[in-house]
């Protein structure tokens, strides 16, 4: 759950950064709504971590600052690219969450319920971005996002 919590820290920051530079009120509103739902996810993960006697990642401030900057840059590239970034982010997050649910199995029903709701919300965020005009990002950018995500996953797991 620490890794998922860190992902939600990053998601909030991404969307806040993108909303800041969006320049389009409809896109900004959609990003702010997504950030609000990510705040719910963050609270759920943090609560579950406490229930499991765990701790959040020491790297969360770094994830927040870096993700905010990435979001602000993505938003500055315009509506279609910014929304494409959202769609690709949510696609990758969905894949991550489904893998986590599969590894978790039925042994932890409480964590599983949280992850299922988060997955549902992430799919909706991606679909909304697509419906607002997201463009497909170039393969190298999607790959860079995936590699960054892996770095965050392993860093948050250990620290």
Q: What is the DSSP string of 78-102?
A: -HHHHHHHHHHHHHHHHHHHHHHHH
| Predicted TM-score of the model (pTM) | 0.91
Domain boundaries, the chain: 2-158
Q: Which pLDDT tens digit goes with each residue over 92-128?
A: 999 999 999 999 878 899 999 999 999 999 999 899 8
Buried b (16+ CB within 10 A) or exposed e, 18-29: bbbbbebeebbe
CATH code for 2-158?
Answer: 1.20.1260.10
Write out the two tokens for 131: 């419906």
Q: Mean pLDDT for the chain?
A: 91
């Amino acid at each position: 759950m620490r890794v998922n919590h860190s992902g939600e820290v990053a998601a909030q920051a991404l969307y806040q950064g993108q909303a800041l530079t969006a320049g389009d009120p409809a896109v900004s509103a959609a990003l702010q709504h997504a950030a609000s739902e990510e705040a719910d996810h963050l609270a759920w993960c943090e609560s579950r971590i406490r229930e499991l006697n765990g701790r959040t990642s020491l790297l969360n401030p770094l994830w927040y600052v870096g993700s905010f900057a990435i979001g602000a840059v993505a938003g500055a590239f315009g509506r279609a690219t910014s929304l494409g970034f959202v769609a690709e982010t949510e696609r990758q997050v969905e894949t991550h969450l489904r893998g986590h649910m599969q590894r978790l199995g039925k042994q932890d029903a409480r964590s599983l319920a949280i992850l299922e709701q988060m997955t549902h919300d992430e799919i909706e965020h991606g679909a909304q971005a697509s419906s607002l005009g997201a463009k497909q990002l170039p393969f190298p950018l999607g790959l860079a996002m995936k590699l960054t995500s892996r770095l965050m996953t392993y860093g948050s797991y250990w620290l």
